[in-house]
Amino acid sequence: MAWVEIDGSTYRFEDGGVRFFLLIGEESALLIDSGMEMRYAKEYAEQLTDLPIMLFNTHTDPDHVGSNAEFDTVIMNPAELINYNLRYSSQNIEPIFDGDIIDLGGRELRAIALPGHTPGSTALLDLNSGMLFSGDPVQNGAIFMFGPMRNLAAYILSLQRLQDMVDEISAIYPSHGKCPLDPSIIEKLIEGAQRVESGEIEAGFIEVFGQKVTTYNLGVATFLGKGDGK
């Protein structure tokens, strides 16, 4: 396992089906998520920079928080606390809300709330480059829409709002699937999700984590929904 350079100040790390990112500014660096199987992600990031490293979670599904214990502070949308494993009882949660800016020094990242996949799913848009670090909601892999606090209607509204910002986005860097993606996938995901919502896409069935779930092939991605097909 090794870092893959995207550009001179942006890196990705592939970690067993999920990836996380390191963004380096002039004054500090930011780890976007901390892996699944990975432990010591901060230590790995220190191979690339001597700057102080902060942690931001796009959301708190288990495959995104593997190295969170390395950090005294984690930046996240507080709506994610319902899912977050609070074994890190001494950890400081720094809340981030839609429109907030993380300034790394000469590199500003704007938070874009994308609830639906999880209540507090949040993407970061690099205002210099137009790179969008989307987490799970925008990808061409399997998008989990089953389990507590996931909502398809909220997901559609989130992506419709993101589509209004598409002219600001140069490329999408998701946590799963192909990377990078063209911003045109946003509109395709909206159309597919609306077809799922209206019952136009026939459901298949698989077992995930011992639970029967429905699958919906959108063409550009797959939704995994409730086992009752609703």
Q: What end-to-end distance do the CA atoms of the chain give, in Å?
A: 39
Distance from C-alpha of 218 to C-alpha of 222, rounded to nearest angstrom: 6
What are the pLDDT digits (tens) for 25-76?
Answer: 999 999 999 999 888 999 999 999 999 999 999 999 999 999 999 999 999 9
pTM above 0.85, yes or no: yes
Distance from C-alpha of 44 to C-alpha of 175, rounded to nearest angstrom: 18
The answer to whether residue 103 is domain-embedded is yes
- pLDDT grade for 167, boundaries at 50, 70 and 90: very high
Mean pLDDT of 146-164: 94
The answer to whether residue 92 is domain-embedded is yes
Q: Does residue 132 surpass a pLDDT of 90?
A: yes
The answer to whether residue 97 is domain-embedded is yes
- CATH number of residue 112's parent domain: 3.60.15.10
The answer to whether residue 25 is domain-embedded is yes
Distances (CA, A) of 155 to 10, 101, 116, 143, 183: 28, 23, 4, 11, 17
Mean pLDDT of 155-178: 98
The answer to whether residue 211 is domain-embedded is no
- Report the range out of 4-13, 84-93, 205-214 with the highest average pLDDT: 4-13
Distance from C-alpha of 88 to C-alpha of 85, rounded to nearest angstrom: 7
What domain range includes position 66?
3-200
Say if residue 200 is exposed, middle or buried (CB neighbours under 10 Å; 0-12, 13-18, 19+): exposed
